[in-house]
Amino acid sequence: MSVMPDTPPQPEAFAPRTERAALEDLRARLRATRWPDAPEDAGWSLGTDVGYLRALVAHWADTFDWPAQEAALSRLPRFRVRLGGLGIHFVHARAVAPTGPVLPLVLSHGWPDSFWRYSKVVPLLTDPGAHGADPADAFDVVVPDMPGYGYSDRPSGPPLNSIAVAGLWAELMDVLGYARFGAAGGDIGSHVSRYLALDHPDRVVAVHRMDGGLPFFTGDPAELTPEERAWFEASAAWGASEGAYGAVHRTKPQTAAAGLTDSPAGLAAWIVEKLRAWSDCDGDIERSFTKDEILTNVTLYWLTETIGSSMRMYHANAATPPEQLSRRVEVPSGFSLFHGDIVRPPRAWLERTANVVYVNEPARGGHFAPFEEPELYAEELRAFFRPYRAAALG
């Protein structure tokens, strides 16, 4: 008896439309918020400013137009495909009027976001000529939602770590017909991009990251440079003052998920505090994000019910074996360390952990630079990947 070959996964176009009942339920919950008290003049010093949150929630309940935002996001070419037993949502935007080799590029997001992180930058990368840049720098852009984020399925079993997600992205790029490609990302997406380069060096022509990951070193501390030791100390201090969220995500994510999945105001507080703290806004969050932009990100989490599943990825990554964390990336690596990002690594650490061919420190932008400063971010990717375009055709 002959055995039929497996049918390769087929992406299907995806354009969600939220039911009115879901939005009515959201508004009812927002209007019924039971507000916490706060010490006088606490501001943001103890977490999310309750006064700011009240104004944001009022806008969410009474003014924010989710159907308009949903339609705007659907102007990106979006798809879903089944990989590894999970439905994976992704943007796949092809280069417009390129004048040279087109480099496929997979962009990996982090927390607390989704494909939303790159929604502003996709047109700049696919059609640079329409935005004052060289048409020869056009990319085919792929932006997947990680499992448990956005419109990708939530794993029903153990959460996937960054290594497993990198494996899915390699499979996705194969499904889309890209034998060789570039990889880029920030936050957890930086780790995913790193493992793409580590585990698929024959396919990843170059990798761009916005950070060097968290410090991990098993050697003799005396081998570290003074700059590296100072970075380790600064990272530890940051963890002590700002890292409580990460400890919760790594250890007891389900406890927080119960409240955040039930309360939209609580969900907004959990996310907004990080958008403010990690962006280059000098304490004024609306220098980096409008209320509508903030609420588009938060509403995605609310409607997809992915806050718990997104946090569980921290738990999975915390169990990554030390030998994986200490691997050195030999694929050509570039780093853009934006001025307003958190705990930026020194060059000595980058060179210790990767084959560094490019480092730049843009003067504006923070942890969410692709959204905060899309033009600067797009130029960073163009500059770094320019020498590797022809390699993608080899």
Q: What is the pLDDT of residue 219?
A: 87
Q: What is the pLDDT of residue 257?
A: 98
Decide if 101 contacts 392 (C-beta within 8 A): yes
- The rounded distance, in Å, linking the Cα atoms of 294 and 286 is 9
Provide CB contacts within 8 A for 161, sequence distance 6+. 313, 316, 317, 319, 320
Decide if 190 contacts 198 (C-beta within 8 A): no
Closest CA to 126 of 184, 76, 85, 195: 76
DSSP 46-70: TSS-HHHHHHHHHHHHHT--HHHHH
Work out whether the CA dihedral 260, 264, 270, 275 comes out positive or negative. Answer: positive
Closest CA to 271 of 157, 177, 149, 393: 149
Examine the residue annotation and report whether 314 is marked as an active-site residue of this protein: yes
Q: What is the pLDDT of residue 393?
A: 72
All residue ranges of the chain with pLDDT < 70 are 1-6, 394
Examine the residue annotation and report whether 367 is marked as an active-site residue of this protein: yes
DSSP 90-146: EEEE--SS-SSPPEEEEEE--TT-SGGGGTTTHHHHH-GGGGTS-GGG-EEEEEEPP
Which of 118, 195, 314, 388 does the annotation list as catalytic? 314
Q: What is the pLDDT of residue 2?
A: 44
- The rounded distance, in Å, linking the Cα atoms of 192 and 109 is 9
Burial 113-134 (b: 16+ CB within 10 A, else e): bbbbbbbbbbbbbbbbeeeebe
* Number of CB atoms found within 10 A of residue 240's CB: 9
Closest CA to 140 of 101, 92, 184: 92
Work out whether the CA dihedral 29, 31, 34, 37 comes out positive or negative. Answer: positive
Q: What is the pLDDT of residue 79?
A: 98
The structure tokens listed for 305 are 């019910």
Task: Go through the domains of the chain in sequence order and give each one's CATH number.
Answer: 46-393 (3.40.50.1820)
Chain centre to alpha carbon of residue 205: 21
Decide if 151 contacts 304 (C-beta within 8 A): yes
**What digits encode the pLDDT tens for the residues 42-65?**
999 999 999 999 999 999 999 999
DSSP 18-42: --HHHHHHHHHHHHT--PPP--TT-
Provide CB contacts within 8 A for 194, sequence distance 6+. 162, 166, 207, 209, 213, 329, 354
Decide if 359 contacts 333 (C-beta within 8 A): no
- The rounded distance, in Å, linking the Cα atoms of 181 and 159 is 26
Which of 187, 211, 280, 341 does the annotation list as catalytic? 187
Q: What are phi and psi of 86, to 5 degrees?
A: -125, 145
Which of 92, 109, 200, 367 does the annotation list as catalytic? 367
Q: What is the pLDDT of residue 323?
A: 94
Provide CB contacts within 8 A for 62, sequence distance 6+. none
